Structure 1
Amino acid sequence: MDLKKAHYYLYTFCRYFMATMILSYAFSKILGTQFIAQPSTFDKPVGSLSGFELTWYYYSFSHWYGTFIAVSQIISAILLFFRKTTRIGVVLFLTFMVNILLIDFAYHIKGAQGMATILTVMGLFVFFSEFPLFYKYFIIEPPLFSDQETPKWINRFKKIKWVYIAVVFIGFYGGISYLKNKLMGQNEFYGTWQNTTGNSEFERLNFEALSTFQVNKVCNNSKVNEGLYSFTKDSIFLRTFTKKYQDKLSNDKENSILNPDQSQMITLLKGKYQLDQKSLTIQTDKNQKIIFKRIR
């Protein structure tokens, strides 16, 4: 058996198969059979959506983005049909195909996992068939400006490059970790609590980042109320904004929510609380007892 000839036949088959299949996906996006959320999806709570529904809802939000992906797929298909442009075609193909494969498995889109795996494996086969040339061009070939004399200050910088890289890694990791703990830290209240006592004013209470809370109706995306909360060892305070100040925050471009005007807030609820992993009981100063159960 002539392995070189078999390699050539398989290489050619993969090119044409990949180009043909990806064209079908591209035209499906353009003609509206992919990335289209069904009408019933819009009436479901986000937390109840399957991975497939969530993915399709996300991509259906912007038609031009789906069209951009489709055009990229069409270009890659055209490039794969011709041997002279196969190399650039397979690089473009893998940039979106690997992402599609990861999405299919990460979001449990089972019906598409098989074909995505086949196309990705074929794309890698074509890529590694050309790997010696990629390696030569990207690794062996001298980098840009290597034939020019390097200024002395750049040579000095090269000596501390590894220190700079380490500082960047450690600095960003430490800085972002600090901001996360300060701005997005999760305390024992954090999460969604369902009212079990029938008080419609607090049907569903969400404790969120930045010590903010939001009150919602069940299965309704309209807010009933929102604001900031604080607590001590045994007491909790929920304060909301005045209507005028809320309108200002809604149009705010300076993130005033990080440092709101305390004089523009009114107390919505205060009282004693008892808290464990599954339940929250608040005895308000109006002698009202509200019992919540944790949903998430």
Structure 2
Amino acid sequence: MAHNTQTLPDEPVIRDAASVAINAPLLQLPAWKEYQLILFRIAFIFFIALSVPNSVEWYQQLVQLDWARLNYRDLYDIARFGSGINFLGNTIFGSSLLGYANWITTALIATAGGLVWTGIVKVRKLPRKEYYTAWYWLRVVVRYRAGIGIIGFGFTKLLPVQMPYPSFGILNTNFGDLTAQKIYWLSIGIVPWYQIFAGVVEVAAGTLLFFRKTTTLGSILLFAALGDIVYVNFAYDGGVHVYSSYFVLLAALLLVNDVPKIYRLLVQERFTVPVNYYPVFPERWQRYTRIGLKSATIFLFLGVLFYLQLINFLYDPYKQPSVAGVKELRGNYQVTEFRLNDQVIPYSPVDTVRWQEATFENWSTFTYRVNKPHPLDLSNGGGDPQRDVNRTFEITGLAGGQRAFHYYADEVNKVLYLEDKYKPIPDRRNRTAGVGGDGGVVVDVAAEKAAREEAAKSAKDWIPAAARKNIGDESLKIAPIALSARRAKDYAAAPAWENRKRFTVKYSTGDGSHVILTGVDENKNSIYVVLDRIDRKYTLTPSTLQAGKY
């Protein structure tokens, strides 16, 4: 086998011509032991399966991308996909094993495949002494898979939108009414510069993995950073333990060769010379192809994705609504008077009907609190919804009777059309992402379809046509630079009728300090509510780095 050897004082490198037969011996490198050959065959099948998208929807979405009108989520979904062998399902004996069942299934099939591979080699009497070339290419696949994936993950922290700064409604929620997951996410969200630091670490790790000479540094950084995320997700029930574990696993594979050398150098304090094998590309087209693919990957996932994520941060943060709320209404209010069906209900902290306090956010969300339990949304509010009504970070992990409604404002007639942000059957999210992580929720698609069909029987537009005209097209109510084909498609696909609680109120106010709401609530009761704005003081200093333009 044609080859050349180059020895440097700090990093001996053995290169093999890529055009030579793969089963030719590499005399400069030691032969592998039998168990190493078997383990490699198993690992090759396992990690290739974990590095390739396993969802038909991922490929469909890739083909259908409008590259002229990209949304940040388009490239993020290329980097974030479900993997592993899942044709047997994502459970073992009916259990998802906290989301790891797919890994176990893949490992079992990879083990069987590796043993069959070994048997075929022995039957054909074509023994192998090593798999250095195949091992190199497996590392390349894993390097780029991990690098692209963690860069997509890291940009949502580098430009802090993954863990948003808390809204008024969240700040007004009692600490004891927050889930453990919510407490952790908010503890990061209130320190955006720390979130940015975490993003720098993740993006740096991914960038280092794009280059062979810095792969070890990138792998160490990735293993340490994501290992911490695995821990906190188990500790606080964060919901992305599987996805973060995924990167730890990929980083561990990339460190397999280096751990013994690092141990020898740093622990045993012995002279250590690392030896790395890289194939040579003798043909010009091979070199140009390699450089071209690498350059395109870096440009797309470091350049274009950063730009799209910046646009998302500035104008359309994915976890909070993007449409501005009515300016004169924004702020915290005390409920001075509350009438239900013309009956005055005096304030009582234990009353299950009367609103206790209300808030109009900077965006188009209205919240109020009432002393009555309601179903909890236990997701992390992530995913890929484009419609503001489906962006639910404001309600996820919140108890204590906190209600949140998205509103459409007819500012000509001063009417608000409100619909509950909580849905009994949530929309499916992260369609290409597989099970586990990033805010995706497993939805009973059949139940969702049945609910829509039932609601459609009495379907009619709950907002009059004249009001619709005054309200305008919500999909266009962000900066033009942030408009995308994905946003337009999501709004166009919105069902004409959804199973949500709704109500309508007229509002009257001068400067917003005193607001009167009159209308009919979601239970068809007439309401008359007087709100007086209060300047609520928070211990938390307002952040100067918040996403969105309102």
Instruction: Name which structure has the greater RCO, CA cutoff 8 Å, separation 6+.
Output: 2
TM-score by length of 2: 0.25
Report the TM-score when normalising by structure 1: 0.45
